[in-house]
Amino acid sequence: MVNKFTINDKILLILNNLKTRAHIRKIAQKTGLNHVTVINNIKILEQLGIVGFETVGKNKEYFLLKNKTTTAYLKIARIHSKLK
């Protein structure tokens, strides 16, 4: 199956800042991105199996899943941030 998603700077920025469980607004605040942009990129990360969520009240708390795909994407994100 061909991966139809591309890794963009916003996804890598979100990955670098998502170290603990966080709501969309908190992630947006940390990264300096619009919350709608964060939502769209989090959906992509969910479909790739990198990010999971848990519903707490009315809100969703997002967290990184522990698998090989996540570790590979985190390595890419950290290398990318060092190159910039």
CATH of the domain at 50: 1.10.10.10
pLDDT of residue 7: 72
| Residue 22: DSSP 8-state | B
The residue-averaged pLDDT of 55-68 equals 94
Residue 77, domain member (yes or no): yes
Helix (H) or strand (E) holding 64: strand 59-64
- Cβ proximity of 64 and 51 under 8 Å: yes
Residue 26, domain member (yes or no): yes
The residue-averaged pLDDT of 7-20 equals 85
Predicted TM-score of the model (pTM): 0.82
Torsions phi, psi of 76, nearest 5? -60, -45
Residue 5, domain member (yes or no): no
Number of domains in the chain: 1
pLDDT per position as a tens digit, 21-42: 999 999 999 999 999 999 999 9
Domain extent for 39: 20-83
Residue 41's CB is within 10 A of a number of other CB atoms, namely: 22
